[in-house]
Amino acid sequence: MKKEIPLDHANRLLNHGPVVLISSEQDGKPNAMAAAWQTPLSIHPLLVGVSIAPKRYSHELITLSREFVVNVPPRTLYRQVHGCGTVSGRDQDKFTMFGLTAVPGRRVRAPLIEECIGHLECVVANTVTVGDHTFFVGEVLSASVEEGTFHDIWEVAQPKGQTLHHLGGSFYTYPEELIDAGS
């Protein structure tokens, strides 16, 4: 038997994929926000999208700088990720507060987060207002991963290759088994 759930929790049926840290920068001040509402959009050109509410500080920074980095955290960063999703960068230096290290990107001014295991450096290709959020479409200019975490797919059977997934609220999970449906 199926039961109806409140619509304000319905997005949780879909967004249990990897949570990421979106880093941005303006006037030398880096910021990071947790984002579970992100998706690949195109391979040629390589485009990704992230949905951010206009009231968020990261929205302002990305709008001004026209760039951002999608950082993929390992499961071990769950406390830092949750903290970056609950504290505003307008008032706090999240990098200092949560022990994150900003390192220069290869192609954008927005910093990479050293403790993360994957990075997509993006310039804003388009923005679309979608309800109460702005959907930033980013063209990926550079992609990098921590050695030993990714070989065409995430190495989730290895602890350092396990990505963090947001279930809603303060709940997270991670994959630890690789299933090959082609064998």
Q: Distance (Å, rounded) from C-alpha 135 to C-alpha 94?
A: 23
DSSP SS3 for 77:
helix
pLDDT (tens digit per residue) in 113-136: 999 999 999 999 999 999 999 999
pLDDT (tens digit per residue) in 6-46: 888 777 666 667 999 999 998 899 999 999 999 999 999 99
Superfamily of domain 7-147+157-173: Electron Transport, Fmn-binding Protein; Chain A (2.30.110.10)
170 has a pLDDT exceeding 90: yes
pTM score, whole prediction = 0.94
Residue spans of beta strands (DSSP E) within 66-177 = 67-72, 102-103, 112-113, 118-130, 133-145, 165-168, 171-173
CA distances 86 to 21, 24, 51, 62, 73, Å, are 12, 17, 16, 19, 16
